[in-house]
Amino acid sequence: MAFPKDFLWGGATAANQYEGAYNVDGKLPSVRDVMSEGLMSPPTSEPTENNLQLEGINFYENYKEDIKLFAEMGFKVYRTSIAWSRIFPNGDDETPNEAGLEFYDKVFDELAKYDIEPLVTLSHYEPPLNLAVNYNGWMDRELISFFNRFVETVVSRYQDKVKYWLTFNEVNSIIGAPTNGAIFKPKDELTKQELWQAAHHQLVASASATKIIHKINPELQVGCMVLSMPAYPMTPDPRDMLATRQFENQNYAFVDVHVRGEYPGYFKRYLKENNIEIKFGDKDAELLKENTVDFISFSYYVSKAMAHNPEEYDAGTGNILGGLNNPTLESSEWGWQIDPIGLRIVLNDFWDRYQLPLFIVENGLGAKDELIKDENGNYTVEDDYRIEYLTKHLHQVDEALKDGVEIMGYTSWGPIDLVSMSTAQMSKRYGYIYVDRNDDGSGSMKRYKKKSFNWYKEVIETNGQSLYNN
């Protein structure tokens, strides 16, 4: 067992998927508030009633009770995001919304009561709707200055309460899912030029956020956040290996820019061959070079296979970055392929490549849970499948630590059930805590501990030792 003494165990959430109160205390809709069918929704111009995200799981009112449950599990760290549209409801406002700022003061103070360190994502797929409607989202360079203002405001305000900051959630996902960059133009009408220019704006905004945060307080730690997806060649054919490397490079390019401060050569070649000419602002290159991150964080759910002739294989479902289904792996009910060893591989790859501390900030199994009464008459969920999934992945984290990889912590996704990002369902659950809310919006919103609640509590209590109990 190699988990270090100060390993940060915890869970990860995002404002738009669980806070609810989408229009309370001055907040205006975010992009996600008008995407009632999840990631691939045709966005509407205003929220529709059937959108589960509008109420989420009402963390906005329940935060004390929920944080108490996280504390009971022994969380050392808690990842969440600040809803940009709570602080700057339109995104382009001159002054912040004080009521929104006060809400996060209360959340961070509550976490401090239990010595839980916050890990805060500045932008988790939830820019204010106005920025999508009136600016085309991150396609517009002006968003950089709006984002800077937001970052300056929240980091100055919370600098004594929050040490760890992440800039953009899964910053590489904008290419496969443009709505993640608040771009509402239909995907088939978007050119590669437009998409990569928008991605560039986010990369510049990320570097400039890093600059702002370090200037406010050099002790604060900034990480990039990338959707990781290791891939394997479908056959030993060298061309499959090359295709695999090129597939992975699409993701690594984003980390290269964050860590090395410039676009890598293989990526410049890709841009050139696709006739994409990214317009750099006068100071962009300098800004990227001088403001690299302190650590790398990533989500890990699936791995993929790749081939030089992908049309001959099954592409599978459930991923936004492409790649092929791996015939050696099983899939979740939502078609996400399960590969614990892939986590060890990706940890080693990141470490070998960058030698920066790593933080696994999302991982978990989305599954259907059944609420039952146990022998004492308490409601619970017998989620052995979740325990098995997490145990296998954490074993691989331990292996990577033994390989010498430096890992800061692990926050599993959705420690309390919340609304799914890709499908906007409640029934795709990740939590240790069950929330009584159904896909049709019915339910009491009551919280119940699943079997995995005590399992995770023990994992944290024993710093991973219990992962080896049978």
| Number of helices followed by number of strands (H, E) in the chain | 13, 16
Complex with ligand BGP: residue 223 or 366, whichever CB lies closer: 366
Please report how close the Cβ of residue 368 comes to ligand BGP at its closest, in angstroms.
12
Q: Which stretch binds ligand BGP (CB under 6 A): 130-138, 205-213, 338-346, 417-425?
A: 417-425
Complex with ligand BGP: residue 144 or 302, whichever CB lies closer: 302
Sites for ligand BGP among residues 69-108 (CB under 6 A): none
Complex with ligand BGP: residue 316 or 366, whichever CB lies closer: 366
Which residue out of 110, 126, 170, 248 is catalytically annotated?
Answer: 170
* Cα 55 to Cα 17: distance, rounded to the nearest angstrom: 9
Provide the phi-psi class of 58: left if phi over 0, else alpha when psi is between -120 and 50, else beta: left
* Cα 454 to Cα 181: distance, rounded to the nearest angstrom: 37
CA Rg value for the chain: 21
Number of residues lying near ligand BGP (CB under 6 A)? 14
Tokens of 136: 């085309």
**Residue of 117, 362, 383, 398 that binds ligand BGP (CB under 6 A):** 362
Q: Mask: binding to ligand BGP, 35-64, rule CB under 6 A, as x and -?
A: ------------------------------
Looking at the DSSP bridge assignments, the partners of residue 413 are 12
Complex with ligand BGP: residue 195 or 226, whichever CB lies closer: 226
Q: Is 19 a known active-site residue?
A: no
Alpha helices, H only, 54-135: 59-73, 84-87, 98-113, 129-135
User: Does the protein bind ligand BGP through residue 299 (CB under 6 A)?
Assistant: yes
Exposure string for 231-250, b = 16+ CB within 10 A, e = fewer: bbbbeeeeebbebbeebbeb
Which residue out of 362, 382, 388, 458 is catalytically annotated?
Answer: 362
Q: Is 55 a known active-site residue?
A: no
Q: Which stretch binds ligand BGP (CB under 6 A): 107-115, 204-212, 261-269, 414-422?
A: 414-422
**Residue of 19, 117, 170, 240 that binds ligand BGP (CB under 6 A):** 170
**Residue of 251, 326, 337, 420 that binds ligand BGP (CB under 6 A):** 420
Q: Cβ(308)–Cβ(242) under 8 Å?
A: yes
User: Does the protein bind ligand BGP through residue 32 (CB under 6 A)?
Assistant: no
Complex with ligand BGP: residue 3 or 430, whichever CB lies closer: 430
Please report how close the Cβ of residue 11 comes to ligand BGP at its closest, in angstroms.
12
Neighbours of 123 (CB within 10 A): 28
The alpha carbon torsion through 298, 299, 302, 305 (nearest 10 deg) reads -30
Please report how close the Cβ of residue 424 comes to ligand BGP at its closest, in angstroms.
8
Alpha helices, H only, 325-450: 340-354, 384-402
Please report how close the Cβ of residue 462 comes to ligand BGP at its closest, in angstroms.
27
User: Does the protein bind ligand BGP through residue 175 (CB under 6 A)?
Assistant: no
Closest CA to 284 of 139, 127, 144: 144
3-state secondary structure 407-429: EEEEEEECCECCCCCCCCCCCCE
Complex with ligand BGP: residue 97 or 423, whichever CB lies closer: 423
Tokens of 330: 């099983």
For the annotated catalytic residues, the residue numbers are 170, 362
Query: Which positions touch ligand BGP (CB under 6 A)?
Result: 14, 17, 169-170, 227, 299, 362, 366, 413, 420-423, 428
